[in-house]
Amino acid sequence: MSTIEIQAAFPSEYAAQEALHKLQSLRVIEVGGLLEHGRLNATVDKALSERAVRLIEQIGGQASVEALF
Determine the pLDDT at residue 47. Answer: 92
pTM, 2 dp: 0.90
Specify whether the CB–CB gap between 38 and 44 falls below 8 A.
Answer: no
H helix or E strand, kind and range, residue 4: strand 3-9
What angle, 0 to 180 degrees and rounded to 10, lies between the N-to-C axes of helices 49-59 and 13-25? 150
Rg (CA), the chain: 11
Name the domain count of the chain: 1
CATH number at residue 58: 3.30.70.100
Specify whether the CB–CB gap between 38 and 12 falls below 8 A.
Answer: yes
Domain containing 42: what range? Answer: 3-68
Is the pLDDT score of 69 beyond 70?
A: no
10-49 tens-digit pLDDT: 999 999 999 999 999 998 999 999 988 999 999 999 999 9
Is the pLDDT score of 60 beyond 80?
A: yes
CA 26 from chain centre, in angstroms, equals 10
